Amino acid sequence: MNRDEERPNGWCIRRYPEGNVGGVAFDCPGCGSDCWVPVDNGEKGWAWDGNESEPTLTPSLGQRCCGWHGYLRAGRFISC
């Protein structure tokens, strides 16, 4: 796990070595656990809107670590 990456808003885009975006790494808004979700067009992972500075993921994030449930919308975590 690369903890050198910066997560100024609690998340960061993570790329494969060849440069394609593979997912979003984030600190769980509920408990701070180190988390990651794969993104693609929504077929297998979460759908990402392509915005690297203010990403939105669909559908919601349901955290097994602590039960937090919410969204990453426009770069911000929103509890629901």
| Ranges within 51-80 binding Zn ion (CB under 5 A) | 63, 65-66
As measured in angstroms, the least distance from the Cβ of 65 to Zn ion is 3
Give the separation between CA 32 and CA 42, rounded to whole angstroms: 25
Separation between Cα atoms, residue 39 and residue 44, nearest integer Å: 8
* Residue 30 near Zn ion by CB under 5 A: yes
Cβ closest to Zn ion, residue 33 vs residue 56 = 33
Q: Is 28 in the site for Zn ion (CB under 5 A)?
A: yes
Considering the rule CB under 5 A, would residue 27 count as an interface residue with Zn ion?
no
Q: Which stretch binds Zn ion (CB under 5 A): 19-27, 31-39, 41-49, 51-59?
A: 31-39
* DSSP state string for 13-80: EEE-TTS-EEEEEEE-TTT--EEEEEEEBSSSSEEE-S-SSS--EES-EE-TTT--EEEEETTEEEE-
The site for Zn ion (CB under 5 A) is made up of 28, 30-31, 33, 63, 65-66
